[in-house]
Amino acid sequence: MPTINIVQAVNQALKEEMRRDDRIVVLGEDVGRDGGVFRATEGLYDEFGPERVMDTPLAESGIIGTAIGMAIYGLNPVPEIQFLDFIYPAFDQIVTNLAKLRYRSGGQYSCHLVVRAPYGGGIKGGHYHSQSSEAYFTHTAGLKVVIPSDPYDTKGLLLSSLRDPDPIIFLEPKRIYRAVKGEIPEGEFSVPIGKAKIAREGRDVSIFAYGAMLHVALEAAEAAKKNGVEAEVIDLRTLVPLDIDLVLASVQKTGRVIIVHEAPKTSGFGAEISAQIAERAIEYLKGPILRVTGYDTPFPYTLEEYYLPSVPRVLKAIDKIMQY
């Protein structure tokens, strides 16, 4: 099986699906001749031409508004927002129009499209190129939110997203765009939306993570093993819909919970996971639910390594919950 990185997985999924479905169009800033700022759309313009791969002005509201119009008229647009931090001018289009068109039209329009955006820190991009604002979209009924953590899931989840009838926010962890590689099977495959996976089996504590933080959690779990702690690591993969069944099954097995994400702690998605666990499985808990997250500050430039959750911070949480 070929070994590729996450950027290549995105590129493969788009190419293969565009060959299969001529309704798919890609649009965004520099996605055409340049192949995108991270080269995720490289080669698409040459193969599919300017009618299906469209460079747009620097106008996120226009990008998403145009994509919504395309979707209503039967196309399957894939708008790229160059960095998730730039999505806010299009926020009204997404939460007021895109997420609600099916409901407002009584089911006449499904308005299927996939909004792709790199998210998160780890590239020294400063506070306008490093934010993790996924919680804004998980709070919006009508949207699905998908965040892969490795090349296999990136390709499989993107293929599933491109075929899903609902609007999807597909967030790609740019910190590990090229740092994480994996084998991809030849031939068609997909990964179901709404299904988490056990990335590491364990019995003592459950660590829930997604995106780049999954790899921090896995490294911390391996380090904790030296102290006799077997941590189970769950890759959520999809925030909405959340695979609450697997979450609860892991909690019931270990009785201890740590949630890791790089977004700020207050109202981050970890709060939703915590609430659902408290509502449905509090009798299994042997200690408080702990969150290892970014801080409630703007994303810093020079102090990026202190802001982002790290292996030592996760290990500190593991020690705390094991001693409770």
- Phi, psi dihedrals of residue 193, rounded to the nearest 5°: -75, 135
- 170 lies in the same domain as 266: no
Q: Which residues contact 304 (CB under 8 A, 6 or more apart)?
A: 121, 122, 124, 130
Do 169 and 292 lie in a common domain? no
Residues 168 and 235 in one domain: no
For the chain, the domain total comes to 2
Two structure tokens written together for 149: 């953590």
Query: Looking at the domain assignment, is residue 250 inside a domain?
Result: yes
Catalytic (active site) residue 129: yes
Residue 192 lies in a domain: no
Dist CA 311 CA 291 (whole Å): 13
From 155, 183, 211, give the residue that closes a domain.
Answer: 183
**Residues of the chain whose pLDDT is less than 70?**
none
- What is the C-alpha to C-alpha distance for residues 308 and 240, in angstroms, rounded to an integer? 23
Is 102 part of a structural domain of the chain? Answer: yes
Q: Are 157 and 297 contained in the same domain?
A: no
Answer yes or no: is 190 within a domain.
Answer: no
Residues 15 and 142 in one domain: yes
Residues 169 and 293 reside in one and the same domain: no
End-to-end CA distance of the chain: 45
**CATH number of residue 311's parent domain:** 3.40.50.920
Which residue, 264, 287, 286, 267, is CA-closest to 275?
Answer: 267
Instruction: Quote the pLDDT of residue 117.
Output: 98
Rounded distance, CA 79 to CA 114, Å? Answer: 7
Looking at the fold, whether 160 and 237 belong to one and the same domain comes out as no
286 assigned to some structural domain: yes
Q: Return the residue matching tokens 């089911």.
A: 107
Task: Give me the residues paired with residue 294 across strands.
Answer: 264
Residue 191 lies in a domain: no
The predicted structure's pLDDT at residue 108: 83
Among 160, 183, 206, the domain boundary falls at 183
Q: Is residue 20 located within the same domain as residue 153?
A: yes
State how far the Cα of 177 lies from the Cα of 23, in Å rounded to an integer: 27
Burial annotation 89-127 (CB, 10 A radius, 16+ → b, else e): ebbebbbebbbbbbeeeeeebebbbbbbbbbbbbeebbe
| Whole-number Å distance between alpha carbons of 316 and 320 | 6
Residue carrying the six token digits 């207050």: 266
Is residue 246 located within the same domain as residue 318? Answer: yes
46 and 159 share a domain?
Answer: yes
Q: Are residues 314 and 207 in the same domain?
A: yes
Task: Give the residue from 152, 183, 214 where a domain finishes.
Answer: 183
Q: Which of 112, 127, 129, 139 is catalytic?
A: 129
Cα–Cα distance measured from residue 321 to residue 324, given in angstroms and rounded to the nearest whole number: 5
Q: State the burial class of residue 282 (Cβ atoms within 10 Å of its Cβ: 0-12, 13-18, 19+).
A: exposed
Q: Is residue 152 part of a domain?
A: yes
The pLDDT assigned to 235 comes to 98
33: CATH: 3.40.50.970
My answer on whether 214 and 111 are in the same domain is: no
Give residue 32's domain range.
Answer: 3-183
What is the predicted pLDDT for the residue at 124? Answer: 87
Instruction: Kindly state whether residue 188 falls inside one of the protein's structural domains.
Output: no
pLDDT tens track for 260-283: 999 999 999 999 999 999 999 999
- pLDDT value, residue 237: 98
CA distances from 266 to 28, 114, 142, 150, 294 (A): 31, 27, 23, 27, 9
